[in-house]
């Protein structure tokens, strides 16, 4: 057999086996369990019953949500389950109830939790219908506030992948990733108005081996926020704006927070945001924690306030306790090849903790032009910091 014919034969065999695997997946359609796909009809019970059947099935499973608009209250897709893997094929639009009493004690709308092998795909949309709830959100001004529902939360999943789905107008966060291991998201589109409160795109907490790639996020808070207890997080190919940029934190607010280590943010565009890449920690932290080994590289800023900012005096409230400095220790932080334009003259701000000065902060080939016409500046305090390569703004001296 000629080499070319052999390659074609191998390719055809691969296609055959892939199709055979898909054909062998047991499919459960929400329509078979009573869902109407009519926004005037509540389909919550139909979704719950479809999940119960899928969860009890063995092998590879598909949960199909055909085209249509489905009105839902709180829906919990929770394991453990018998299947090996499950593909949730979202073709339609899910619309959240605007009645906050429908969400019970939980702080989420749709939850996938406590099982392995999730793939969420299909090109469909989660519509949180958050506009009716944003005026009820007291969290921007009140420290001990009632948190509104996150649109989609992923909890204690292993080997999960989210690709090609959309979210709009959440009541609170779009997506939350909590205690997951090997979680991947790609080609997702998250959208909310610039003035919508606390509508973080993706919040990650206490998770390991997470990647967020090739996605577009425009919202009213952080495009992506990396909370406490995370390790080995990759963020790449993100278009972020409007919003508050890509943030680590806030950290140091609660006792016994986990360390954060091994973050890479690269090859992304941030535009029209209040911050670019940011690390934020609370003053007067109740306990010590560490942030180590973070790289922000090849990021283009376009009309961004605070393109590079480390803020260890973070507190968004008027009555902040500033009686002690932050107890979050930052070390080995690298900003490389960060270019573009800053809407604030202080294009680089590195304000570290007096109790634990930042160690080994490196800025290499940073070129950020101030849109106001004069020279940009760098403001630094309590930091062991080094500049190399292109230095715009000029390097600062630490207090």
Q: Please report, in angstroms and rounded to a whole number, the separation of the first and last CA atoms in the chain.
A: 74
**Are 247 and 275 spatial neighbours (Cβ–Cβ below 8 Å)?**
yes
- Separation in Å, CA 118 to CA 18, 154, 165, 188, 194: 18, 10, 14, 16, 31
3-state secondary structure at position 53: helix
Q: How sure is the predictor about 52, in pLDDT bands with cuts at 50, 70 and 90?
A: very high
Q: CA–CA separation, 8 vs 330, rounded Å?
A: 54
Q: Is the pLDDT of residue 64 over 60?
A: yes
Lowest mean pLDDT among 24-38, 140-154, 231-245: 140-154
Q: CA–CA separation, 204 vs 176, rounded Å?
A: 6
pLDDT at 221: 98
Rg (CA), the chain: 23
pLDDT in tens, 79-124: 999 999 999 999 999 999 999 999 876 679 999 999 999 999 999 9
pLDDT in tens, 308-336: 999 999 988 877 888 899 999 999 999 99
Q: CA–CA separation, 391 vs 341, rounded Å?
A: 14
3-state secondary structure at position 158: strand
Which one is catalytic: 191, 203, 244, 329? 244
pLDDT at 8: 45
pLDDT at 106: 63
Q: Is the pLDDT of residue 397 over 70?
A: no
Contacts of 174 (CB under 8 A, 6+ apart): 126, 128, 150, 151, 152, 167, 190, 192, 199, 200, 201, 202, 217, 219
Q: How sure is the predictor about 143, in pLDDT bands with cuts at 50, 70 and 90?
A: confident
pLDDT at 320: 82
pLDDT in tens, 12-41: 444 444 444 455 789 999 999 999 999 999
Q: CA–CA separation, 275 vs 277, rounded Å?
A: 6
Q: Is the pTM of this model over 0.85?
A: yes
Q: Is the pLDDT of residue 5 over 80?
A: no
Q: Phi and psi at residue 363, in whole multiples of 5°?
A: -115, 120
pLDDT at 105: 66
Tell me, yes or no, if 203 is annotated catalytic: no
pLDDT at 14: 46
Q: Which CATH number is 222-399 given?
A: 2.160.20.10
Q: Mean pLDDT across the stretch 175-198?
A: 99
pLDDT at 23: 57
pLDDT at 398: 61
Q: CA–CA separation, 220 vs 128, rounded Å?
A: 14
pLDDT in tens, 153-175: 999 999 999 999 999 999 999 99
- Separation in Å, CA 119 to CA 85, 143, 291, 347: 8, 36, 31, 40
Contacts of 259 (CB under 8 A, 6+ apart): 228, 229, 231, 289, 290, 291, 292
3-state secondary structure at position 395: coil
Helix (H) / strand (E) containing 50: helix 44-55
Closest listed residue to residue 136, CA positions, set 218, 196, 73 = 196
Instruction: Name the average pLDDT for the chain.
Output: 94
């Amino acid at each position: 057999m000629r080499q070319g014919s052999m390659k074609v034969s191998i390719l055809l065999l691969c296609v055959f086996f892939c199709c055979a695997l898909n054909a062998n997946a047991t499919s459960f359609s929400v329509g078979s369990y009573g869902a109407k796909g009519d926004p005037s009809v509540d389909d919550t019970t139909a979704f719950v019953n479809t999940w119960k059947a899928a969860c009890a099935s063995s092998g590879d499973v598909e949960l199909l949500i055909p085209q249509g608009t489905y009105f839902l209250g709180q829906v919990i897709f929770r394991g453990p389950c018998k299947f090996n893997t499950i593909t949730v094929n979202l073709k339609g639009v899910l619309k959240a109830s605007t009645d906050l009493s429908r969400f019970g004690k939980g702080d989420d709308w749709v939850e996938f939790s406590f099982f392995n092998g999730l793939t969420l795909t299909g090109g469909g949309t989660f519509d949180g219908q958050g506009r009716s709830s944003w005026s009820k959100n007291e969290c921007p001004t009140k420290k001990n506030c009632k948190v509104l529902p996150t649109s989609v939360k992923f909890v204690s999943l292993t080997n999960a992948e989210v690709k090609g789905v959309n979210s709009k107008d959440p009541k609170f966060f779009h997506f939350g990733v909590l205690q997951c291991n090997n979680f991947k998201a790609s080609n997702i589109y998250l959208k909310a108005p610039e003035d919508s409160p606390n509508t973080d795109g993706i919040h990650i907490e206490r998770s390991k081996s997470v990647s967020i790639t090739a996605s577009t996020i425009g919202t009213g808070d952080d495009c992506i926020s990396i909370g406490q207890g995370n390790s080995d997080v990759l963020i790449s190919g993100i278009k972020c704006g409007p919003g508050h940029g890509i943030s680590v934190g806030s950290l140091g607010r609660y006792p016994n927070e986990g360390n954060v280590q091994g973050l890479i943010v690269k090859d992304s565009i941030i535009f029209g945001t209040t911050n670019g890449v940011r690390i934020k920690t609370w003053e007067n932290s109740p306990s010590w924690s560490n942030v180590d080994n973070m790289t922000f590289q090849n990021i283009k800023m376009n009309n961004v306030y605070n393109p590079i900012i480390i803020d260890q005096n973070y507190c968004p409230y008027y009555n902040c306790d500033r009686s002690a400095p932050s107890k979050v220790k930052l070390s080995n932080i690298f900003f490389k090849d960060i270019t573009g334009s800053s809407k604030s003259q202080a294009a680089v701000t590195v304000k570290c903790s007096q109790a634990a000065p930042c160690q080994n902060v490196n800025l290499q080939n940073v070129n950020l032009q101030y849109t106001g016409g004069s020279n940009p500046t760098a403001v630094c305090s309590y930091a062991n910091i080094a500049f190399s390569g292109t230095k715009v703004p000029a390097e600062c001296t630490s207090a």
